[in-house]
Amino acid sequence: MPELPEVQTTIIGLQSLLNKEITNIILYSRKLRYLIPKNITNILKNTQILKISRIGKYIICELNNNYSLIFHLGMSGRFQISKLDDYIPSKHDHILIFFDNKKILSYNDPRKFGFVDLSGSKEVCHKTYIAKLGLDPFDKKLTNNYLFNKIKFSRVPIKQILLNQKIIAGIGNIYANEILYDAKISPFIQGSCLDVDSIKILIKSIRKILKQAIKLGGTSIKNYISTDGTLGNFQNKFKVYNKENQNISGFKIKRVIQYGRSTFYCPDIQITN
């Protein structure tokens, strides 16, 4: 958390900063998962953000000086856009970016698992943590045959496969639970046991659930807040996540720990074969 829908919602919120000049940068702390680059102030000052996009869970801000800012929100990272006169300092604000329209972009991360990086714009896809990513869930290359060939020999449970960023980039634990319920597939079935027809249903559910979550502004359970301070609403549409012992369609939802993470599922609906 945040997962793909929260990252995409953040990107939508950041669009108001496009083509605005960066006038100043204040670093309160460089200590995140990795140190914020020392030269970030010099490279950012007097530039403009031309484009803001997403690769997996990474936010890419392309600048007009052939550099790009790369953000990863980690477990608790979030952005907030404030008017200059309305900004209230927060204990866990690590970087402030000032714009010529009298707006401030603050990056806040209490747990410090996120990071801020710089790259030449043409080299972004060669960064190690990006180069190893699998396909985006909305990439046309994510076909039934692609996923079938990736998992046809795998003994790993399908839920863990969905969380493997080297296969599909962007899905986290919350959405994996909801996707598998929507597809009526057990989280415990091994990848090798899924045929092409089942994979077709799974890909359809992946896109359906993620699109719904983006439309509703993502999920706000603990830390996530959008750039304007509003909460996401997808948690109000959960079918199984955080609903242990509740009933759905007359059947009980169960919770188990799978690979160290909570798995919520309905065994009477999510079949194993």
Catalytic (active-site) positions: 2-3, 57, 261
State both tokens at 184.
Answer: 């009526």
Contact 61, 71 (CB under 8 A): yes
DSSP state for residue 152 in the 8-state scheme? T
**How far apart (Å, rounded) are the C-alpha atoms in residues 15 and 190?**
41
Report CA 81 to chain centroid distance, whole Å: 19
- Find all residues with CB under 8 Å of 233, minimum gap 6, and list them: 216, 217, 220
- Token pair in block for residue 22: 């960066």
Pick from 103, 9, 78: which is nearest to 224 by CA? 78
Q: What DSSP assignment string belongs to 38-97?
A: TTHHHHHTT-BEEEEEEETTEEEEEETTSEEEEEE-TTT-EEEEEETTT----TTEEEEE
Residue whose token pair is 């083509």: 19
Please answer whether residues 186 and 159 qualify as being in contact, where contact means their C-beta atoms are separated by less than 8 angstroms.
no
- Partnered with residue 79 across adjacent β-strands are 107
CA gap 60, 257 in Å, rounded: 34
